[in-house]
């Protein structure tokens, strides 16, 4: 379990949200799967924010990275090859921006003022990691290392795969980049931790989503989920 009450260091995934065309239906699905409750656009677990759902054109789950200087980080992103989609602005206790990275992914910047973002992570029914899957891993690695000062480490646990850990300067792992030449587009592989993958898959199917059969990996027992609106994400239970 990890409870968060302060703004996180530069480059930490600090918020996740999803745009949906039918907010009540999305709340019903994610409430059934994860046990979340809802306060406006906030998804809550034990009364604390763990994600966001909002009305809008459907996209993938969008990851927002912490910064203590939204304007400066947005400028740095442009200099590194990104494009500003939504200029830095004040919003609900934070300064925020949306940027499109050089491999085409929408990402957010989150400068917390009174809103630190996700307040529960790394426990069942909360965000546990994000991995960037792309046919252009070298471009992605250069961009994220430049913008957030990430270090890049290989992964000996995955021989034959082009996977790089992303780590903050303090050594904390925040995710990874997976090179996948056959992938037609780049995407974020968002993973929520669960206590029991098989039980979660059953709830997904009962609630109108689809799921692959649970599979044991070296890290988790996992399944790829598609919600009723076409958004894909993963769930995983630790051994």
- Residue 2: the pLDDT is 86
**Given the structure tokens 């968060």, which residue do they identify?**
4
Residue ranges of domains in the chain? 2-120, 123-237
Q: Extract the tokens encoding 230.
A: 């076409």
Neighbours of 1 (CB within 10 A): 8
User: If you average pLDDT over residues 132-161, what whole number do you get?
Assistant: 90
Which pLDDT tens digit goes with each residue over 21-66? 999 999 999 999 999 999 999 999 999 999 999 999 877 999 999 9
pLDDT score, position 156? 74
Residue 1 has a pLDDT of 53
Secondary-structure class of domain 123-237 per CATH: alpha beta
Distance in angstroms (rounded) separating the CA atoms of residues 148 and 123: 25
pLDDT of residue 50: 98
Query: Do the domains at 2-120 and 123-237 have one common CATH topology?
Result: yes
From CA 15, how far away is CA 93, in angstroms rounded? 13
123: nearest Cα among 190, 172, 50: 50
Yes or no: say if 10 and 76 are a contact pair by the CB < 8 Å rule. no
Instruction: Give me the pLDDT at residue 123, please.
Output: 96
Average pLDDT over residues 134-140: 97
Whether residue 210 contacts residue 230, with contact meaning beta carbons closer than 8 Å, is answered with: no
Which pLDDT belongs to residue 8?
A: 95
2-120: CATH architecture:
Roll (3.10)
Which pLDDT belongs to residue 199?
98
pLDDT tens, position by position, 188-231: 999 999 999 999 999 999 999 999 999 998 889 999 999 999 99
Query: Which residues share a beta bridge with 129?
Result: 191
For the stretch 67-108, pLDDT in tens is 999 999 999 999 999 999 999 999 989 999 999 999 999 999
Phi-psi region of 92 (alpha: psi -120 to 50; beta: other; left: phi over 0): left
Model pLDDT, residue 183: 92
Phi-psi region of 172 (alpha: psi -120 to 50; beta: other; left: phi over 0): beta
Cβ atoms within 10 Å, residue 122: 15
Per-residue confidence (pLDDT) for residue 141, from 0 to 100: 97
Asked if residues 234 and 190 have their Cβ atoms less than 8 Å apart, the reply is yes
Inter-CA distances, 49 with 37, 186, 193, Å: 9, 27, 15
């Amino acid at each position: 379990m990890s409870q968060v009450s302060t703004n996180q260091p530069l480059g930490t995934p600090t918020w996740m949200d999803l745009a949906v065309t039918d907010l009540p239906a999305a709340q019903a699905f994610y409430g059934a799967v994860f046990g979340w409750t809802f306060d406006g656009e906030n998804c809550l677990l034990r009364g604390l924010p763990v994600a966001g759902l909002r009305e809008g054109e459907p996209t993938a789950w969008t990851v927002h990275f912490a910064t203590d200087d939204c304007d400066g980080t947005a400028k740095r992103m442009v200099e590194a090859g990104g494009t500003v989609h939504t200029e830095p602005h004040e919003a609900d206790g934070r300064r925020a921006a949306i940027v499109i990275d050089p491999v085409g992914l929408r990402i957010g910047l989150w400068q917390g003022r009174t809103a630190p973002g996700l307040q529960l992570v790394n426990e069942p029914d909360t965000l546990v990691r994000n991995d960037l899957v792309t046919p252009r891993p070298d471009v992605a690695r250069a961009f994220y290392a430049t913008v957030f000062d990430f270090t890049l480490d290989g992964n000996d646990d995955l021989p034959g795969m082009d996977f790089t850990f992303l780590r903050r300067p303090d050594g904390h792992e925040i995710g990874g980049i997976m090179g996948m030449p056959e992938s037609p587009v780049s995407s974020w592989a968002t993973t929520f931790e669960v206590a029991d993958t098989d039980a979660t898959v059953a709830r997904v199917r009962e609630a109108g989503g689809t799921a692959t059969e649970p599979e044991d990996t070296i890290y988790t027992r996992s399944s790829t989920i598609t919600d009723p609106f076409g958004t894909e994400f993963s769930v995983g239970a630790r051994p």
